[in-house]
Amino acid sequence: MSAKNYFQRISEVLSSINEREMKKIEQAGEMLAAAIQAGKRVYLFGSGHSVIPVMDVFPRYGSFVGFFPLYDPRLMWHNVVGPGGARELLWLERREGYIEHFLQSYAFEAGDCMIVFSHGGLNAAPVEAALYAKQRGLKVITVSSLANAKIANATHSSGKKLSDVADIALDNCVEPEDAQVDIGQPEKVAAGSTIAAVFLAMALVAETGARLAANGTVPPTFVSPNVSGVQKDHNFRVFDAFTGKLFDRSPVAHGNA
């Protein structure tokens, strides 16, 4: 029964996104497609569990060159306790001033875009990633709980919440508590923000890709080897195209790898 309850809750979340956020998703897709077509980059950032949609956008089947994930191992727990554990990460992502030391290794340019994922939208890492991007002329799209933004006080010294920094603030339509299923104890279980964030991430990939295709500029795209007719070296050529884009910011070429 609880599994069915979770399905019902997640269905409601996705329905809310469809009803309330689709216009903004379309606007964001237009923004991202224009950037990629012009040879700019779309960076993706998240910390803690919010790194999951970042990891799922690129590289993976059905996505394409133009997306640049930003991975900080210190903000991606690979342990529960000890080095790389959850408590260490939770401490670090709240430390003001840390994230710029990670981001300064990347060559951001005006006209690039950044998508920042954070359910709560309050911690220093996502807020400062968005601020850092805005200061360098990037367009910023955020994915967070706008319900949480309404009830929570800003914890960053700037007085900003993540959605305050956005050019387009997408709502994951998940309540602040995140956990979805009441099992008869004070704490609910089974979080919803990850599924919501991955849905929004894939919706942006779909919208961006469709707009690029309509303009005749489809970047090299990962394809599952289970698709008939795919050349054996197809995805290796996609990796090569991504590597090339690390050094080349010319507009996207016509066609598909």
Q: Is 148 or 256 the better-scoring residue by pLDDT? A: 148
Q: Is the pLDDT of residue 78 over 90?
A: no
Q: Is the pLDDT of residue 256 over 70?
A: no
- pLDDT band, very low/low/confident/very high, at 72 (cuts 50, 70, 90): very high
User: What is the amino acid identity at position 149?
Assistant: A
pLDDT of 153 reads 95
pLDDT of 116 reads 98
Q: Which DSSP state fits 51?
A: G
Structure tokens at 64: 């394409």
- pLDDT band, very low/low/confident/very high, at 77 (cuts 50, 70, 90): confident
Q: Is the pLDDT of residue 95 over 80?
A: yes
How many C-beta atoms surround the C-beta of residue 234 within 10 A?
A: 18
Q: Is the pLDDT of residue 242 over 80?
A: yes
Give CATH for domain 2-6+27-245: 3.40.50.10490
Give CA separation, 117 vs 78, 126, 200, 206, in Å.
Answer: 19, 7, 10, 18
Residues 36-59 have a mean pLDDT of 96
Radius of gyration of the chain (CA): 19
Q: Which of 130, 123, 174, 218 is nearest to 17 (CA)?
A: 174
Q: Is the pLDDT of residue 1 over 90?
A: no
pLDDT of 147 reads 96
pLDDT of 100 reads 95
- pLDDT band, very low/low/confident/very high, at 248 (cuts 50, 70, 90): confident
Residue partners of 232: CB distance under 8 A and separation at least 6: 225
Q: Is the pLDDT of residue 192 over 60?
A: yes
Average pLDDT, the chain: 93
- pLDDT band, very low/low/confident/very high, at 234 (cuts 50, 70, 90): very high
CA 220 from chain centre, in angstroms, equals 20
Rounded to whole angstroms, the Cα distance separating 217 from 211 reads 9
Q: Is 45 or 257 the better-scoring residue by pLDDT? A: 45
Q: Can you give the residue ranges of every domain in the chain?
A: 2-6+27-245
Contact 188, 10 (CB under 8 A): no
How many C-beta atoms surround the C-beta of residue 2 within 10 A?
A: 13
**What count of Cα atoms within 13 Å lies in the side-chain half-sphere of residue 216?**
1
Residue partners of 101: CB distance under 8 A and separation at least 6: none
Q: Is the pLDDT of residue 27 over 60?
A: yes
